[in-house]
């Protein structure tokens, strides 16, 4: 109990440095995934604070809506983080904008949550669709923007989101990047959000994709009544968790991003949301058999007869 209380203090009670860097008007931040959610809100917040913001959107509508909601100083561009050529064009655009001053901040925020489902419902292409955005996209964008970040001795802020494979990958990549880039004066922070009400956590989209996975299952799996019941209960547990944990205040995440970009001494990791602080992160430090048991309880609680 004593150790757990110390962990809560470190996660919640520790004050972050109030000191901020100077010269916001001369600092440029590039943010991916700005059509909606965290990226959209962060772009508008930083724009109001006087930073030069270049917001990358996937759709024309997302770009036009953001431009209408921000000052004329904010610039948008189209970007598909799964397309290296699209990333190259974005890097060239940003390079022309920042010149020799370089890029102060890169926020890898773009992400997706589907396809997602029980492992044996999935195919390789399902994993690839998520990893291409949430992990490979993060790596590709970062590598192509590193020369600009080195010029400014800037910041990289990576959002560790998505289901486990991409989340662990972003964590590992960020740790390696932080250690390699410290010699160039570049600081790397990881945002570890809990459940928040964004496009990534829309239950109707997740349920629709689960139905898609279900319809393509082979017949021999469909007749395994016991296992099907288990999987259905696990799906219900996921929905139950999101319903309880999902927080509508996404500013809790963007405040972490903002601190990582503007604080003189940014933190390595930021946990946003009470569920991240009090449940998911403490759970990750427990022995595997304990965390496995706690996660399985969700299925027991939500288990329903077929």
Q: What is the pLDDT of residues 214-250, one digit of tens each?
A: 677 776 665 554 455 555 555 555 555 555 566 777 8
The answer, yes or no, to whether residue 263 has pLDDT greater than 90, is: yes
The answer, yes or no, to whether residue 179 has pLDDT greater than 80, is: yes
**What confidence score (pLDDT) does residue 36 get?**
92
163 is known as an active-site residue:
yes
**What confidence score (pLDDT) does residue 278 get?**
66
Q: Is residue 239 part of a domain?
A: no
Percent of the chain with pLDDT over 90: 51
Which has more confidence, 113 or 97?
97
Contact 56, 79 (CB under 8 A): yes
> What are the backbone angles phi and psi of residue 190, rounded to the nearest 5°?
-120, 130
Q: Is residue 185 part of a domain?
A: yes
Count the helix, strand and coil residues of the chain and give each as a percent rounded to the nearest 5: 60, 10, 25
Which has more confidence, 3 or 86?
86
CA distance 143 to 181: 12
The answer, yes or no, to whether residue 137 has pLDDT greater than 90, is: yes
Q: Is residue 291 part of a domain?
A: no
98: domain range?
A: 23-197+247-274
Which has more confidence, 79 or 220?
79
Q: Is residue 182 part of a domain?
A: yes
* Res. 274 pLDDT band, cuts 50 70 90: low
The CATH number linked to 122 is 3.40.50.720
**What confidence score (pLDDT) does residue 51 get?**
96
Percent of the chain with pLDDT over 70: 71
CA distance 135 to 128: 10
In this structure, what is the dihedral angle of CA atoms 117, 119, 121, 124, given to the nearest 10 degrees? Answer: 100
Q: Is residue 229 part of a domain?
A: no
Strands of the 269-272 sheet, one edge to the other: 75-78, 52-57, 28-31, 105-108, 155-159, 187-193, 269-272
Q: Which of 163, 231, 270, 285 is catalytic?
A: 163
Q: Is residue 280 part of a domain?
A: no
Question: What predicted TM-score, i.e. pTM, was given to this entire model?
Answer: 0.79
Which has more confidence, 113 or 169?
169
Count of domains observed in the chain: 1
The answer, yes or no, to whether residue 156 has pLDDT greater than 50, is: yes
**Which of 22-36, 164-178, 231-245, 271-285 shows the lowest mean pLDDT across its residues?**
231-245
In this structure, what is the dihedral angle of CA atoms 37, 43, 49, 51, given to the nearest 10 degrees? Answer: 160
Other beta carbons within 10 Å of 6: 11
Q: Is residue 6 part of a domain?
A: no
Total count of residues recorded for the chain: 306
Q: Is residue 15 part of a domain?
A: no
The answer, yes or no, to whether residue 158 has pLDDT greater than 60, is: yes
CA distance 266 to 117: 35
* Res. 304 pLDDT band, cuts 50 70 90: very low
């Amino acid at each position: 109990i004593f150790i757990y209380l110390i962990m809560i203090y470190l996660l919640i009670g520790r004050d972050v440095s109030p000191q901020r860097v100077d010269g916001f008007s001369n600092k440029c931040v590039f943010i991916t995934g700005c059509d909606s959610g965290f990226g959209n809100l962060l772009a508008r917040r930083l724009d109001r604070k006087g930073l030069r913001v270049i917001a990358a959107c996937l759709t024309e509508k997302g770009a036009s809506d953001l431009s209408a909601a921000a000052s004329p100083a904010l610039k948008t561009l189209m970007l598909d983080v799964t397309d290296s050529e699209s990333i190259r064009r974005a890097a060239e655009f940003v390079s022309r904008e920042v010149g020799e001053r370089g890029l102060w901040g890169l926020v890898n925020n773009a992400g997706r949550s589907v396809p997602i489902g029980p492992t044996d419902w999935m195919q390789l292409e399902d994993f690839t669709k998520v990893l291409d955005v949430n992990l490979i996209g993060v790596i590709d964008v970062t590598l192509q923007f590193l020369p600009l970040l080195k010029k400014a001795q800037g910041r990289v802020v990576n959002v560790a989101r998505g289901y486990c494979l991409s989340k662990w990958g972003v964590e590992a990549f960020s740790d390696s990047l932080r250690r390699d880039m410290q010699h160039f004066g570049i600081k790397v922070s990881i945002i570890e959000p809990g459940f928040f009400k964004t496009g990534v956590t829309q239950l109707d989209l997740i349920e629709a994709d689960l139905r898609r996975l279900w319809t393509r299952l082979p017949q021999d799996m469909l007749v395994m009544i016991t296992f099907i019941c288990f999987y259905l209960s696990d799906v219900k547990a996921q929905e139950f968790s999101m319903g309880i944990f999902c927080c509508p205040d996404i500013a809790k995440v963007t405040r972490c991003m903002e601190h990582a970009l503007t604080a003189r001494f940014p933190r390595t990791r930021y946990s946003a949301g009470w569920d991240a602080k009090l449940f998911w992160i403490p759970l990750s430090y427990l022995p595997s058999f304990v965390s496995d048991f706690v996660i399985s309880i969700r299925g027991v609680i939500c288990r329903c007869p077929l």
